[in-house]
């Protein structure tokens, strides 16, 4: 199907109708007849032919990759967090970090101890069957329901397979330190996004990964007591290391609700939270809206909300690694409509950094 035909036969996901594969409310597409979805974050064996990229998931499998809707015997219920952590830790212990990936991480500002602490690894293109065999036999792991693994043969240790593009594996952890999911920074991204989730949605006995938030903690200890929020697990790791602060890495700009939920779990007594969205919010109205919504919701919940901005570099990790100073100031929410502000206008409320007027 052509790119034009794809756009005519699909609709964009929304908050009321999120993607049935990754559960996000933006970027992905769903067929008008609900026969398939084009997920921009979770890989499948069938790349989409649309200009936007992504991967095709048949909805009779993809919808069942979410635990609440599971009922097909060819798909598996998502394993418990404890079992996922055990399998992923075993997988990471069997893999190594290639020198090129090590250099990439160092160029982005991570120290050698931080790289070791975060447990990054390289997902190779070859040797997957041997890796699966070792995870099952050497570590006595049950792979059923663990995103990324699927069974090609109905039984036997040699039937398990590991999906995913070759690239840098990024562990995504919760506040308890357990690995909830793995994200891959693909070595080649000629088609589709650079970052994708390790998922086996739509594959025999496979399951979807979802898109959990990541909590990054500095390996040298906390210096900045404020809780920071940004986009992306790797970006959060880098920011945590360079800031000396706990940083929540949301899977995307639109996932601010889950990011705020995680923040409340970490700091139930609330406190100061710094919102550090990418600077493309200045040119991308959708990102700006999500940023504003996060700030307003955090303020209503009782957080002391601050906004971080900088000149040069898209992400907060880029700015910190380049030595660019961050401007962090309180966010004021004005419950009135004004004709013009430096940022952007929302009905009946405007976000202003600093003291503002009125």
Highest mean pLDDT (candidates 1-10, 192-201, 343-352): 192-201
Q: What percent of the chain has pLDDT over 90?
A: 51
Residue 337's pLDDT is what?
38
Q: Assess if residue 128 is contained within a domain.
A: yes
* Its pTM surpasses 0.95: no
Mean pLDDT, all residues of the chain: 83
For the beta carbon of residue 292, count every other beta carbon within 10 angstroms: 22
Tell whether 164 and 265 lie within a shared domain.
no
Decide which of 38, 69, 100 is a domain's last residue.
Answer: 69
Tell whether 99 and 149 lie within a shared domain.
yes
Decide which of 69, 103, 124 is a domain's last residue.
Answer: 69
Residue range of the domain that includes 45: 3-69
Residue 236's pLDDT is what?
98
- Interatomic CA distance for residues 139 and 275, integer angstroms: 40
- Averaged pLDDT, 66-94: 75
Q: Which of 64-68, 86-90, 118-122, 223-227 has the lowest mean pLDDT?
A: 64-68
- Interatomic CA distance for residues 159 and 156, integer angstroms: 6
Q: Assess if residue 76 is contained within a domain.
A: no
Tell whether 178 and 273 lie within a shared domain.
no
CATH code, domain with 305: 3.40.1360
Tell whether 334 and 265 lie within a shared domain.
yes
Q: Assess if residue 98 is contained within a domain.
A: yes
The distance of Cα 167 from the centroid of its chain, to the nearest Å, equals 16
Tell whether 65 and 116 lie within a shared domain.
no
- Averaged pLDDT, 83-99: 96
Q: Assess if residue 40 is contained within a domain.
A: yes
Tell whether 329 and 221 lie within a shared domain.
yes
Q: What percent of the chain has pLDDT over 70?
A: 82
DSSP state, residue 16 = S
- Interatomic CA distance for residues 44 and 28, integer angstroms: 14
Tell whether 86 and 65 lie within a shared domain.
no
- Interatomic CA distance for residues 345 and 354, integer angstroms: 16
What is the pLDDT confidence band of residue 48, given thresholds at 50, 70 and 90? confident
Decide which of 197, 225, 242 is a domain's last residue.
Answer: 197
Q: Assess if residue 36 is contained within a domain.
A: yes
Tell whether 129 and 86 lie within a shared domain.
yes
- Interatomic CA distance for residues 295 and 289, integer angstroms: 10
Number of domains in the chain: 3
Write out pLDDT tens, residues 289-323.
Answer: 889 889 999 999 999 999 999 998 889 999 999 99
Tell whether 224 and 339 lie within a shared domain.
yes
Residue 60's pLDDT is what?
54
| pLDDT higher than 60, residue 346 | no
Q: Assess if residue 208 is contained within a domain.
A: no
Q: Assess if residue 202 is contained within a domain.
A: no
CATH code, domain with 132: 3.90.980.10
């Amino acid at each position: 199907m052509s790119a034009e035909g794809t756009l005519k036969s699909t609709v964009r996901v929304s908050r009321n109708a999120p993607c049935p594969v990754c559960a996000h409310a933006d970027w992905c597409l769903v067929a008008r007849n609900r026969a398939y979805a084009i997920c921009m974050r979770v890989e499948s064996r069938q790349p989409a032919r649309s200009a936007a990229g992504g991967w095709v998931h048949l909805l009779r499998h993809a919808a069942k990759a979410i635990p609440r809707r599971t009922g097909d015997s060819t798909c598996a219920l998502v394993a418990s967090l404890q079992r996922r952590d055990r399998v992923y830790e075993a997988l990471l212990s069997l893999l190594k970090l290639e020198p090129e990936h090590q250099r990439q991480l160092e160029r982005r500002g991570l120290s050698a101890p931080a790289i070791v602490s975060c447990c990054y690894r390289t997902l190779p293109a070859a040797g997957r069957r041997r890796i699966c065999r070792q995870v099952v036999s050497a570590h006595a792991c049950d792979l059923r329901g663990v995103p990324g693994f699927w069974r090609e043969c109905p039984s036997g240790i040699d039937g398990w397979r590991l999906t995913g593009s070759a690239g840098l594996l990024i562990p995504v952890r919760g506040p308890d330190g357990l690995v909830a999911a793995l994200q891959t920074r693909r070595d080649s991204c000629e088609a589709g996004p650079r970052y994708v989730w390790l998922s086996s949605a739509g594959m025999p006995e496979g399951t979807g990964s979802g898109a959990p938030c990541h909590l990054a903690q500095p390996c040298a200890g906390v210096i900045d007591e404020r809780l920071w929020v940004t986009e992306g697990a790797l970006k959060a790791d880098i920011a945590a290391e360079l800031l000396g602060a706990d940083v929540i890495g949301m899977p995307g700009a639109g996932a601010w609700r889950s990011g705020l939920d995680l923040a409340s779990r970490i700091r139930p007594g609330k406190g100061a939270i710094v919102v550090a969205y990418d600077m493309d919010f200045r040119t991308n109205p959708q990102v700006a809206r999500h940023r504003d919504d996060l700030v307003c919701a955090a303020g209503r919940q009782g957080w002391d909300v601050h906004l971080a901005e900088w000149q040069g570099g898209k992400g907060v990790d880029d700015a910190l690694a380049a030595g660019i100073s961050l401007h962090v100031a309180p966010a004021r929410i004005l419950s009135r409509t004004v004709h013009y502000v430096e940022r952007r206008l929302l009905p009946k409320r405007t976000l202003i950094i600093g003291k503002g007027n009125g």
